[in-house]
Amino acid sequence: MAVVETRDLTKVFKEGALGAVNSVSLETREGEFLVFLGPSGSGKTTLLRMIAGLEAPTSGDILIGGRVVNDLTPRERRIAMVFQSYALYPHLSVYKNIAFPLKVPVANANGSRLPARSSASRPSSCSTSRSPTSTPNCAPPRARSSSAFTAA
């Protein structure tokens, strides 16, 4: 997993209005699980969408693995989001929901297909054992209720 960092990240949808995200600076640690909590309309999803590359920031920088990724596509960032509702892929595990966009071929700007990654490999620190002393399983049966992201 890569370290994800934002530096003074801002998103304003309507000029002159208060931004949806205002000067957010954060840095994850290697292997850290980060969750954003807050009331509806507080900018959680907008922040995640900017990190994932689905929304362009008005200002500030997004770094993944120490590299500024503001101008990279979501696929080039090798990052995925998991939404708090089951609306997208309720039949898939959390792991498969995260891996799905990394496996699906996409078209580039000129319309030609880019090859899909051969597989989204499970991090070596994951275990399939569920004993109390083991490493947590990285593919629980279903997402419960959270918004999160992961970087490959």
The verdict on residue 8 lying in a domain is: yes
| Residue 6, H or E segment | strand 4-11
**Could you tell me the residue range of the domain that residue 54 belongs to?**
4-121+138-151
Task: Please check the confidence at residue 21 and state whether its pLDDT lies above 60.
Answer: yes
pLDDT at position 30 is 85
Locus of tokens 């490959």: 152
The verdict on residue 131 lying in a domain is: no
Domain at 24, CATH number: 3.40.50.300
Can you read off the two tokens belonging to residue 126? 């994951």
Average pLDDT, the chain: 74
Q: Judge contact between 117 and 77, C-beta under 8 A.
A: no
Task: Please check the confidence at residue 83 and state whether its pLDDT lies above 50.
Answer: yes
d(CA 93, CA 119) in angstroms, rounded, equals 16
Considering only CA atoms, which of 76, 84, 79, 73 is closest in space to residue 5? Answer: 79
Domain count, the chain: 1
Q: Tell me the three state secondary structure of residue 45.
A: helix
Whole-model pTM above 0.75? Answer: no
Distances (CA, A) of 148 to 44, 74, 130, 144: 10, 15, 22, 12
- Region 38-50: mean pLDDT is 90
